[in-house]
Amino acid sequence: MTNLVDRYVFTALRRIPEQQRADIDRELRASIEDAVDARVEAGESREAAVETTLTELGDPERLADRYAGRPAYLIGPELFPVWRRLLKILLWTVLPIVVTVGVVVQIFEDPNIGKIIGGAVSGLITVGAHLCFWVTLVFAIAERTNTPVKVNWSLKDLPRYEAQRAGLGQMLTGVVWVVLLIAALVLQQFTFTDVPLLDPANWSFWWPVMIALFVLRAFYYVWVYRLGATTRTVAVVNAVLTVAWAAPLVWLLASDRFFNPAFQGFLDLDGGNARGWMNTGLIALVVVGAAWDIIDTALRAERTRRGLPGKVPGTGGSYDFS
């Protein structure tokens, strides 16, 4: 027909397996010829008819994918929900564990704060990228080899939506933060600087007490996750634990017994009054944070007790999840 048609057909055939090209070549040219003839009979010029026909056929590479029965996506709709669910689980579980282990190893090898932060960020990016790449590669191969991935689903698989229920990610995040806080409290005494940042006199009582309270907090996160709902008992336990660590912390800050008096550096800024400003700021932060945590948990517990419908952001309404 015309050079334009030859270019279009050649572009499409490049993406088709060689053993199928002859048949698709004839079929595609015949289809184009019929469409052009119909337009010419309707009064269009042949050149205009060819351009219109090829434009309507669209991108020749996408057309070739349809002819070859090849998916034009990395992961199809059948496997995508499984891929997304598995990737979220791995990112919420494996990633924090690996990064935390890397930080602990770096602390023991070289407790340089810059190297610790750099290692944590590097590990977060590297491990996250590897998880995304390898999981996606496996599912992409399964998609293109038509490997059956059996996913049985029933109504029993519907998750329970208790009001503001703590998920696995929240539980893991809480436990990881507790581990990091305990590690920071212990290691600042021996590794970060020659003179510890926090008052070493508190190791006779307050720092061991704070560590014990942090451990109880970790068990609390696990307990709430296993319980599966924010009840009044949960709210009471949360309030007790929150007050138990916030009250002595506020007292230590208010009595200037939190920071080590012998520590120099940034605490001597502002004419030596930096520690006072930091104490005041931390007291406000602790009080506001503790109050918010207690009130928020109590409100969620009350919502659960009364069976109130949960609000879904963006919908403008509420849903009864009971």
Q: Is 87 exposed, middle or buried (0-12, 13-18, 19+ CB in 10 A)?
A: middle
Q: Is the pTM of this model over 0.95?
A: no
d(CA 49, CA 37): 8
Q: How big is the chain, counted in residues? A: 322
Which residues contact residue 94 at a Cβ distance below 8 angstroms, ignoring those fewer than 6 apart? 127, 131
- Average of per-residue pLDDT across 198-203: 88
Q: Which of 42-46, 59-63, 263-267 has the lowest mean pLDDT?
A: 263-267
Q: For position 214, what pLDDT does the model report?
A: 92
Query: What pLDDT score was predicted for residue 76?
Result: 73
Identify the H or E element spanning 26. helix 18-41
Mean pLDDT, residues 115-144: 84
* Cβ proximity of 5 and 57 under 8 Å: no
What pLDDT shows up at residue 160?
56
Residue 145, Cα to own-chain centre: how many angstroms?
29
User: Which residues, in sequence order, are CB contacts of 106 under 8 Å at separation 6+?
Assistant: 115, 116, 119
**Residue 32 has what pLDDT?**
87
Stretch (H or E) spanning 56 = helix 46-57
Query: Taking 50 as the threshold, does the pLDDT of residue 182 lie above it?
Result: yes
C-alpha 293/C-alpha 102 separation (Å) is 30
DSSP secondary structure of 57-85: H--HHHHHHHHHT--SSSS-TTTHHHHHH
Q: Identify whether the C-beta of residue 124 lies closer than 8 Å to the C-beta of residue 58.
A: no
pLDDT for the residue numbered 66: 75
Q: Mind listing the pLDDT tens digit for each residue in 7-30?
A: 888 888 877 777 778 888 888 888
- What mean pLDDT do residues 311-316 have? 51
What are 207-256's pLDDT values in tens digits? 999 999 999 999 999 898 888 778 888 899 999 999 999 999 999 988 88
Q: Does residue 165 carry a pLDDT above 80?
A: no
pLDDT for 322 beyond 50 = no
Token pair for 106:
């770096």
**Average pLDDT value for the chain:** 79
What pLDDT band is residue 310 in, cutting at 50, 70 and 90? low
Report the chain's terminal Cα–Cα distance, integer Å.
68
Banded pLDDT at 198 (limits 50, 70, 90): confident
Q: Which residue has the higher pLDDT, 109 or 99?
A: 99
Q: What is the DSSP string of 166-212?
A: --HHHHHHHHHHHHHHHHHHHHTTTTS-SS-SB-GGGGGTHHHHHHH
Bigger pLDDT: 91 vs 105: 91
pLDDT, tens digit (0-9, with 9 covering 90-100), for 286-309: 899 899 999 988 888 887 776 655
Judged by DSSP in three states, 320 sits in: coil
Question: Can you say how many angstroms the Cα of residue 117 is from the centroid of all Cα atoms in its chain?
Answer: 19
pLDDT exceeds 50 at position 270: no
pLDDT-wise least confident of 100-114, 238-252, 259-273, 307-321: 307-321
Question: Which of the two residues, 163 and 116, has the higher pLDDT score?
Answer: 116
Give the list of residues 6+ apart from residue 263 with CB closer than 8 angstroms, or none: 193, 195, 196, 197
Categorize the per-residue pLDDT at 1 as very low, low, confident or very high, splitting at 50, 70 and 90.
very low
The residue ranking higher by pLDDT, 170 or 50, is 50
Spatial contact of 174 and 218, defined as CB atoms under 8 Å apart: yes
Q: Between these two residues, 122 and 276, which has the higher pLDDT value?
A: 122
Cα–Cα distance, 62 to 69 (Å, whole number):
11
The answer to whether residue 56 scores a pLDDT higher than 60 is yes
Contact of 95 with 127, CB cutoff 8 Å: yes
